[in-house]
Structure formats: C-alpha cells, structure tokens
C-alpha cells in the first residue's frame, strides 16, 4: 500500500500530513511574488523536462474504476485501488467546492506484491537511455509510424496540412474520437480567427511525436518541432555526402547523430549548471568507458522525486516574442495554464519562433524557501482543459507516496549525508529555521518529510541549482546512464575519432538557427541573456556549424580497392565489409554482404545483383477490369494494351508500395523525367542523371 494509505497510520510515531496541505503551506507562491534567476534562461528549465521525457514514462493504472466498488476514480473520494484521491483539508480555499482531487495509482509490474517479501514496483514505458526517444519513439512500431516511408532520404513524416512559413510541423495525431480534441481551443474568445475545420475531421490538432506528452505545453512542442526539422536537415546533408546510402542508412545515421547531440548538450551544457562545476567534477568524473555491470535503468526515486526538482523553477508566464525579440500583439505572452495542450496556438499564432525567442530571453524562476511553486501549477494546472484544476505539487507528493518512496532522512543517509533528527538539525541543513519549523509542525519529525519537498528545500550548492541530496541522486543516475550505455557517443567504435571531434562543437543555438526563422541567438542558450542586443547573428563564428565531412564514406578499401557497386542498389562500407540493399521494387540475388579477403586482397564472394520484382505475378492488386503491367521497380494497372514502354499518356492507376494513385496525363517511371517537349508532345521521357 502507498505511504499514507491509512490516514491514521503512523510513521516514526507521527501520521503523514495531507499532500494538499503541504502544498499550501510550503509550496504555494503567488504568480507576482517571484524572483528571477540572474544566470539561467528558461530554455534550461524546458530542456530538463525535454530530457525527462527521453528517460522515463510511468504509466498509470489502465483501470479508471475502483476494483472493489467499481466507482469512477474521477468522482470518488474513497481510497480503493487504483483510486488514491488527494483529500482537500478543511483550511483549503477549495474546501466546500471539492472534497478531493482525482489521482490514479501507477500501474504495477507483473506479479509485484504477489510473492512473499516482494515489493510493488512501477514500470518505465520508454527507453531509459538518452537516445532521443522522444523524437523517434521507444518501439519499432512507433518509430516506423513516425517516418516518411516513401522518402528516399530517410526523412521523418511531417504535417501535410500546415507549415511554419515553409518549415515543417509534426504530423497531427489521427482523430480516434471525433468529440475529443485535448489540444484544440476551448472557446471562441481564445481561438482567434481560423479555418480549423479543414483538418479536424480526421485528425486532432494534437501533434504526433515519439513521446505521448509532446503537446503538454508550447516549449515542449517547440523542441519536438526543432529536432524533427534537424533530423530532416541532417538526412539531406548526409545524402549529398553519400549518394549510395539507402533511406534506412540515412535515417539511422541521422538518428545516431541526434542521440549524440542530446548526450553532449545534457552532460556538457545542462548538468554543470544544475549541479555546479565542483559537484559535477566530484560526482561525475571523466568518462572511462562502458561498464557492463552498471544498471542504466531509471531509479524510482529519480523518476518520482529527484528529476522533478525543476517544477519550482517554472515561470508563471509563457513569453512569446516577435522578430527583434519585441512583444507582438499577434501572439502575446500567456499565463502558463493557457499554454497547456494548446498546440493550435503554434499553428495559428506565429509558429515556434515566438516561443523559442521567449525561452532564449526569459530567465528561469529562482527557487527560494518562500518562493517555491507558482500558483499556475498549484491552483490552475489544466484549468483551461475543463474540469477542476489540479495541483502539481500535491501530485508529486502523492506519486512519491504511491511508489512507497522512503522519507527525506532515509535518502540523506543513503547519500552519506547528515541525517536530521529534530528541528534544529533540519534548520541547519536547510539554512532556514522558519521552513524547518513549518516542516516540524506538518510532519512531526524530519524523518517523515516526503523526499521531493525535502530535497528541493535544500539550498543550492555553489554554481548549481540543487542542494546536496539532489546532487547525489541526480549525479548517480546520470553517471549510470552514461557509463552503462553501450552506445554512448564517446565509446570507442561508436563514432570515429574525427566524428567525435566535430560532435564536441554541437550547439543548441546552431540547431535553432538552422531550423527556425530566428536570426539572432545567444552563444550559450542556457545562460541568461539580459537584452536582445546581446544576441549574436546566426552567421557569427561563435555559433558553429556541425561539420559532417567526417561522415563521408570512402569509395575504396586500402587492400581490395574500389567498392563494387550494383545497379538499382545501395551499399554501406563497414570495416572492410560491404552491405548491400536493393531499391524498393527490387530483390537481392546473391550474398547481402561481401568482405575484403586479406590474403587474396579481393572482394569475396561476388557482389549480388538487384532483380526487378514482378509484382503482377507475386502481389498484384489491380481491380478486375484493369490489366497489371510490371514496370522497373513497381507496376501499373490500366486498360488492356494502353501502356507504352516508358510513358503513359492515358489515365492509369499506379501502385507504389501498396499505395494506389490515380495519375492523369503523362506518367514517367521513377528513373525518368519528362523532357521539355513533353509539354507539347505526349509520351516523351528522359532518364535521370
């Protein structure tokens, strides 16, 4: 059972206070009573959530009804698993309006709690590694669904209804329930003028991405969009460098680079600012190589408490700025709760550029003992989506209890830190007697303090934004994620030495320049920039490009000579082994790989060939009244005897990869282009160079 499941049950001779009471007494901060961080930008805050969504997703119980009574968890205040409602205390301003907030327990792993002495454990539904899974998905099926399968470049799918002044958006999610659109405008007063009906029949205005939380707020949407575009930019550059690479090779190599970029930006740029340089060097020593004995999965305390520290650094207002970093009436700044699940604002109100400019110029909120969590998060969370607003602070505390996390003192002991036994001990650790006394009144003992609220209350270490306990818990997790990753970017053999050298120069500001209309950026986007005059032009040498020339593949082997090429096929050179793959519509005959024989210094065995697949014999799907004719790499369906050798002048049905397309007028096969004369004379095609 969760800690606090029975309200009268005692821990260290004291019962646990209601989480909503802790939120009201310790966390609540008026929107207009905040201080700003003098050194960090709000982009650092959003990057933390971005990386969190790369690491962990704890699924809730799939059931939304009480197991015993069958009551709907959203409408009952009784504790009956999976319902674990958050009680509203008598002193709460919400008392009389609502008796509790709905809360669902996290889904347990299979068999948890069944065997003797086995504790209930929760799940991670995504890959724990920093591998940009929020861009590409954590499963083969989702990764495939996010790709543009018809692209010869290995591109990601993009939105077919809208673009951001010629730059791509993510595709929309299919509309599974016609009445449900959590990302659409709530009413006409906030939606502005639009013609959304054109695209909302079969899709929602929620974007589809590698992570299901992509639409939570505008900052996340901007980062998702940014890296979708960066992938598609990279595959184009890689294609120009290696024309013989297949779409899948281009996709995988770009994905590998994007994953490395996330590792570099997180460990080299993000973590030092969170932990502080001294704690970083002490707790995160230089990389020594892959350690197969390290467990790189996500610790429960990290997912449920430690990496939620940045919730107290969130500004109450989402700043959006026009060109020149000026306020713009077309897309004004918003209270945070109006930006949640509001992807339509991106499409209709200026794209991601205003959001990016706001993140770059706005400072993070400074966390102090009297300024913890803004009321946008404690009093108005998801208010704009209808229903009773939630409280993020209370949700965090309740989730920690749901997962059975031990109290604050246990984790101090775990990290080798001093353990507070009374108010004076706690006051010395927190550097604040008033806050320590408040905790004593609420919890009765420092041992019972929920680890999340205790950890965020510690004063930050020099140069960082977290205290000793969070530094310990965060560094332990990120070190395991680095040293326990077989594909860590610095590991020998993952990238070449030249590639690693160039990757070290990656810049988030450069990625923003290359994939948006933002023309001026800070040299360091995680540091606070005081004024727009301090921004640098994207052409400035301090905003370096990633030079991908080290990714150019050699066209010969030092011992066996030139790479044998095959018609209608791709190849990939890998350590003196050549891997072959045929174009779509062709099948490989012979060995799929050949290698350089060091003795004979010859390629062996003989290279394969690519043979056209006769779809008319193997998989024809033409309507009965049409005739199937095989063509190089595909087939067409047409009236009998209406096909010429290269061009088709009449209307035909063309089938590519199972997709049926009606083509009117002249049609040229995929390896041919219409000649200029084709504009006036039918059926004239020339082969592509």
Label the pairing between strands 634-638 and 627-631.
antiparallel
Q: To the nearest 5 percent, what fractions of the chain are helix, strand and coil?
A: 35, 20, 50
Question: Distance (Å, rounded) from C-alpha 44 to C-alpha 525?
Answer: 8
Helix, strand or coil for residue 650?
A: coil
**Phi, psi for residue 99 in degrees, rounded to 5:** -95, -25
CA 272 to chain centre: 21
Q: Is 520 known to be catalytic?
A: no
Question: CA-CA distances (angstroms) from residue 347 to 210, 232, 320, 353, 664?
Answer: 19, 20, 14, 11, 33
Question: Distance (Å, rounded) from C-alpha 452 to C-alpha 398?
Answer: 10
- 20 contacts 101 by C-beta, under 8 angstroms: yes
226's tokens = 């940014």
Q: What is the dihedral of CA 7, 9, 15, 18, to 10 degrees?
A: -20
| DSSP E strands, 303-361 | 317-318, 334-335
Strand partners, 495: 492
Residue 505: which residues within 8 A CB-CB, separation 6 or more? 544, 546, 547
640's tokens = 């009998």
Which of 234, 227, 235, 211 is CA-nearest to residue 262? Answer: 227
Which of 441, 444, 464, 398 is CA-nearest to residue 106? Answer: 398
Using the CB atoms, write b or e for 113-138: b if 16+ within 10 Å. eeeeeeebebebebbbbbbbbbbbbb
Residue 600: which residues within 8 A CB-CB, separation 6 or more? none
Question: Distance (Å, rounded) from C-alpha 339 to C-alpha 360?
Answer: 17
Question: Distance (Å, rounded) from C-alpha 561 to C-alpha 277?
Answer: 50
CA 85 to chain centre: 29
Q: In a 10 Å sphere around its CB, with 0-12 CB exposed, 13-18 middle and 19+ buried, how is residue 391 labelled?
A: buried
- 331 contacts 320 by C-beta, under 8 angstroms: yes
The CB density around residue 197, as the number of other CB atoms within 10 Å, is 7
- 106 contacts 121 by C-beta, under 8 angstroms: no
Q: What is the biggest distance separating any 2 CA atoms in the chain, rounded to whole angstroms?
A: 95
323's tokens = 């060109």
The CB density around residue 598, as the number of other CB atoms within 10 Å, is 10
Give the active site residue among 53, 224, 311, 520.
53
Active site residues: 53
């Amino acid at each position: 059972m969760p800690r606090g499941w029975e309200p009268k049950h005692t821990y260290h001779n004291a019962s646990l206070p209601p989480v909503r009471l802790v939120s009201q007494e310790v966390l609540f901060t008026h929107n207009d009573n905040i201080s700003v961080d003098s050194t960090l930008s709000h982009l650092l805050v959003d990057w933390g959530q971005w990386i969190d969504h790369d690491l962990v997703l704890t699924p809730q119980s799939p059931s939304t009804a009480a197991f015993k009574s069958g009551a709907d968890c959203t409408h009952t205040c009784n504790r009956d698993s999976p319902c674990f409602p958050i009680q509203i205390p008598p002193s709460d301003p919400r008392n009389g309006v609502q008796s509790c907030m709905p809360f669902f327990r996290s889904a347990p792993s299979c068999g948890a709690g069944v065997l003797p002495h086995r504790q209930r454990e929760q799940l991670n539904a995504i890959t724990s590694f920093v591998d940009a899974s929020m861009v590409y998905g954590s499963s083969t099926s989702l990764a495939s669904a996010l790709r543009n399968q018809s692209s010869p470049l290995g591109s990601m799918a993009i939105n077919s209804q809208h673009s951001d002044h010629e730059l791509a958006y993510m595709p929309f999610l299919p509309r599974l329930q016609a009445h449900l659109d959590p990302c659409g405008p709530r009413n006409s007063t906030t939606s502005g003028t639009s013609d959304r009906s054109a695209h909302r029949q079969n899709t929602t205005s929620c974007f589809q991405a590698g992570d299901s939380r992509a639409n939570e707020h505008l900052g996340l949407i901007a980062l998702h969009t940014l890296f979708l575009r960066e992938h598609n930019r990279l595959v184009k550059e890689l294609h120009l460098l290696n024309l013989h690479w297949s779409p899948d090779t281009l996709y995988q190599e770009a994905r590998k680079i994007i994953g490395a970029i996330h590792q570099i930006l997180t460990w080299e740029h993000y973590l030092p600012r969170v932990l502080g340089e001294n704690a970083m060097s002490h707790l995160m020593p230089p990389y020594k190589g892959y350690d197969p004995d390290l467990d790189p999965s996500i610790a429960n305390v990290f997912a449920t408490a430690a990496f939620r520290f940045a919730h107290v650094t969130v500004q109450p207002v989402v700043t959006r700025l026009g060109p020149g970093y000026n306020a713009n009436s077309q897309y004004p700044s918003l209270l945070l709760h109006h930006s949640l699940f509001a992807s339509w604002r991106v499409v209709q109100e200026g794209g991601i550029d205003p959001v990016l400019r706001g993140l770059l110029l706005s400072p993070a909120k400074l966390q102090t003992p009297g300024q913890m969590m803004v009321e946008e998060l404690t009093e108005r969370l998801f208010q704009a989506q209808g229903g009773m607003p939630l409280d993020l602070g209370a949700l965090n505390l309740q989730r920690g209890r749901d997962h059975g996390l031990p109290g604050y003192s246990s984790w101090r002991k775990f990290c080798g830190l001093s353990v507070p036994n009374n108010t004076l001990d706690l006051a010395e650790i927190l550097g604040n007697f008033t806050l320590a006394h408040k905790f004593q009144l609420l919890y009765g003992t420092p041992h019972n303090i929920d680890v999340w609220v205790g950890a965020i209350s510690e004063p930050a270490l020099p140069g960082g934004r977290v205290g000793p306990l969070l530094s310990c818990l965060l560094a332990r997790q990120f070190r395991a994620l680095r040293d326990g990753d077989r594909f860590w970017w610095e590991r020998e053999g993952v990238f070449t030495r030249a590639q690693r050298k160039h990757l070290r120069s990656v810049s988030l500001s450069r990625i923003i320049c290359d994939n948006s209309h933002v023309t001026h950026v800070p040299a360091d986007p995680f540091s606070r920039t005081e004024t727009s005059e301090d921004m640098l032009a994207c052409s400035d040498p301090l905003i370096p490009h990633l030079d991908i020339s080290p990714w150019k593949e050699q066209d010969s082997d030092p011992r066996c000579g030139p790479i044998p090429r095959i018609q209608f096929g791709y190849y990939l050179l890998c350590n003196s082994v050549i891997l072959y793959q045929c174009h779509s519509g062709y099948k490989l005959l012979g060995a799929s790989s050949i290698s350089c024989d060091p003795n004979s210094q010859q390629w062996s065995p003989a290279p394969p060939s690519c043979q056209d697949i006769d779809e008319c014999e193997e998989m024809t799907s033409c309507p009965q009244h049409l005739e199937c004719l095989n063509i190089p790499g595909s087939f067409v369906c047409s009236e009998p005897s209406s096909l010429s050798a290269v061009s088709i002048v009449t209307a035909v049905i063309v089938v590519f990869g199972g997709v049926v397309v009606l083509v009117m007028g002249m049609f040229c096969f995929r390896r041919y282009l219409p000649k200029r004369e084709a504009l006036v004379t039918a059926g004239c095609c020339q082969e592509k160079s």
